Structure 1
Amino acid sequence: MAFIDYYKILGIDKAASDKDVKNAYRKLARKYHPDLNPNDAEANKKFQEINEANEVLSDPEKRKKYDKYGENWQHGEAYEQQTRQQQNRQRSSGGSGGFEGFGGGFGGGEDFSDFFQSMFGGAGGGRRTGYRGQDLNAEFQLNLQDTLQTHKQTLTVNGKNIRITIPAGIENGQTIKIAGHGGAGVNGGPAGDLFIKFNIPADVRFKRDGANLYNTIDLDLYTAVLGGEIMAETPTGKVKVKVKPETQNGTKVKLKGKGMPVYKKENEFGDLYLTYNIKIPTNLTEKQKQLFEELSKS
């Protein structure tokens, strides 16, 4: 198992500050983002590697463990416990203590992954102990229209195609877990999990709050005064809306069930709220002005 150098992936050195990590990640994420590299498997793989590296190096505690234990940083506590047990056994048997048999510890030139391989049952022998693989994190972008129906999607993560079901009504920032699709386990241990975070940019038409949607719609003065019908846009198409006579500017109306699907609740929907913005007519003809003057005097 080769050592994964997260610093090399982000193009920084071990002395890099938190700001350096953040800037390097942003620069590379923009370059290799799937939206800018459609159907490019290599770019997609690189994007996942960048996210994985940032996940570890942007977290002070994770970075500290990674700097000490390398790729197997998640198993650091298990290693330390194994070290203490080994030292206790050697002291009780009159041994010299330590792990000189493994090349003098981490300074002996081995990469960390191979070191752990020998420590827990590989070439160095000893009792085999399986450890769970590393959890992986990925991001996936959708638009509002993509969230109207439950659908299946194939993602490429670390070179593997994974088919997932995306529930209708999923929200921006929401994360779902795909069990067993993270990093491989150590010495036969179970694989980690894959966590997918969904990014759903703000829609130009609607403001979203959970399953409810909000929109401001222009209403001409004549319809506001006399009443009538208008066509209003919803996520699934346009619908007729009756306007009451003498409707005031800023009036809000609710279109029941015309919002977003409720997450994981079949056939349940939020509402769409419309706010009327009454438009005052401009460029009136002389005749129209006279009519308004007559109306004002009546």
Structure 2
Amino acid sequence: MDYKDYYKILGVEKNATTDQIKKAYRKLARQYHPDVNPNDPNAERKFKEVNEANEVLSDEEKRRKYDQLGADWQRYQQAGAGRGGQPGGGGFDWSQYTQGGGGFEGFGGGGSNDPFGGADFSDFFSSIFGGAGGSPRPAAGQDYQAELELTLEDAYQGGPRTLTVNGKKLRINIQPGVEDGQTIRLRDQGAPGRNGGPSGSLYITIRLQPDARYTRTGADLTMDVPVSIYKALLGGEQVVDTFSGPVKIKIKPETPNGTRLRLRGKGFPVYKQAGQFGDLYLRLTLTLPQNLTEEEKALIQQLATLRNEA
């Protein structure tokens, strides 16, 4: 029977805090979850190892017992195992680490493939924390993962959305200003708990579709505004569409190409900050006239001559 280094499996130090263990577990559980890696035996094996490591290290009593065994494991190996690979021999008292005399039966004694049922715990786990006669503690159910695709305007407006996770329809309310890649947690919407434990959570990752008009930076927006060369030279007014409605802007005479204008409070809502908005930056891009007539060409030539640029 091989020793299992649960700290190494979760990628944490032996002095890791409960929060660090929880964070590492959630990350790896998402990475190797069967829903993310269908028909991948290696991912399934890693997923079971991660769950087993969390089962021990997230429980204060189990972790204490495991740490105590870890210090004595080398002595156990030197002592050797008893007949049939059972722990013991050489005067090593294995019974102080086992529950109910140990044994190598699968935890729960079943043959279930449910990664959250006890049947998939290793012999190492079962020998320390009990076999079929053990009384497993309540444990939280596994977390679920889902994605929700939104347009930029959807994210601006917010509001109710419906999605289906594991065959169950859920209605959620999106707060205005949500970010691309942001994760929303819904408690008790994951897998059911074990042995009376609480259900897991559902983590919904927001995916925002690219927008042809706007570039978003936090709560600020930037958009290109085409302006005719005549308006840029002589000045004038132009209407710009924003998420909150049309806005009339003034363009000063002789405005250079690429000039940036700032519209305060016309950007994106600040997430969970009611009434607060970022700014909208307008980048003026000059457009040249096309399909000039001979008369128009002559007038432009005359202007070039007057400015000594012909």
Q: What TM-score range do you get, normalising by the shorter chain?
A: 0.5 to 0.7
The counterpart of 1:91, out of the listed 68, 79, 95, is: 95
Equivalent residue number for residue 288 of structure 1: 296
Matched, 1:240 2:244: no
Paired residues for 1:114-263 under 5 Å: 115=119, 124-263=132-271
More displaced stretch, 161-170 vs 81-90 = 81-90
* Cα offsets for 1:84-138 (capped at 9, x unmatched): 69989972599995424x36x7998554625279x8x9x9454351011111111
Give the percent of matched residue pairs that are identical in Structure 1 and Structure 2.
38
Structure 1 position 267, deviation (Å): 1.1
Give the residue type in structure 2 aligned to 1:53: P
Shift of 1:66: 2.4
Greater length-normalized contact order (CA 8 Å, ≥ 6 residues apart): 1
1:167 corresponds to which letter in structure 2? Q
Structure 2: distance between partners of 1:250 and 1:128 = 67
Query: Per-residue deviation at 1:52?
Result: 4.4
Structure 1 residues 39-60: Cα deviation after superposition (integer angstroms, max 9, x where no partner): xxxxxxxxxx999426578xxx
Q: What is the aligned counterpart of 1:75 among 46, 55, 62?
A: 55
- Relative to structure 1, is the Cα distance of residues 93 and 72 closer, same or farther in structure 2, using a 3 angstrom cutoff? closer
Mapped to 2, the partners of 1:257 and 1:277 lie a distance apart of: 22
How many residue pairs are counted as aligned between the two chains? Answer: 242
In structure 1, list runs of 5 or more residues that go unmatched: 1-48
Instruction: Structure 2: state its 5+ residue gaps.
Output: 1-29, 70-86
Look up the equivalent residue of 2:197 and give its one-letter code. G
1:66 aligns with 2:66: no
Instruction: Give the structure with the higher percent helix.
Output: 1
Q: Deviations over 1:246-291 (max 9, x none)?
A: 1111111112211111111111111111111112223222222222
Letter matched to residue 91 of structure 1 = S
Q: Distance in 2 between matches of 1:171 and 1:95?
A: 49
1:278 aligns with one of 286, 289, 308 = 286
Distance 1:297 1:54, change over 3 A: same
Q: Residues 68 and 271 of structure 1: is their aligned pair in 2 closer, same or farther, counting only changes over 3 Å? A: closer
Give yes or no for contact 2:151–2:208 (8 Å, CA) kept in 1: yes
Aligned match for 1:269, one of 273, 277, 299: 277
User: Greater CA deviation, 129-138 or 158-167?
Assistant: 158-167
Provide the C-alpha distance between the structure 1 equivalents of 2:196 and 2:219, rounded to a whole number of angstroms. Answer: 43
1:66 partner amino acid: F
Contact map agreement 1:169 1:260 (CA 8 A) in 2: yes
Q: Is the 8 A contact 2:260 2:283 kept in 1?
A: yes
What RMSD, in angstroms, separates the aligned Cα atoms of the two structures? 4.1
Q: Distance in 1 between matches of 2:269 and 2:58?
A: 45
* Rg comparison, structure with higher value: 2
Whether the 8 Å CA contact 1:62–1:73 is kept in 2: the answer is no
Provide the C-alpha distance between the structure 1 equivalents of 2:295 and 2:98, rounded to a whole number of angstroms: 111
Conservation of the 8 A alpha-carbon contact between 2:32 and 2:46 = no
Q: Secondary structure at the match of 1:148?
A: helix
- How far apart are 1:163 and its partner, in Å? 2.3
1:295 alignment partner AA = L
Letter in structure 2 aligned against 1:99: G
Q: In structure 2, do the counterparts of structure 1 residues 94 and 65 end up closer, same or farther at CA, with 3 Å as the change threshold?
A: closer
Distance 1:62 1:78 in 2: 22
Indicate conservation of the 8 Å contact 2:95/2:102, yes or no. Answer: no
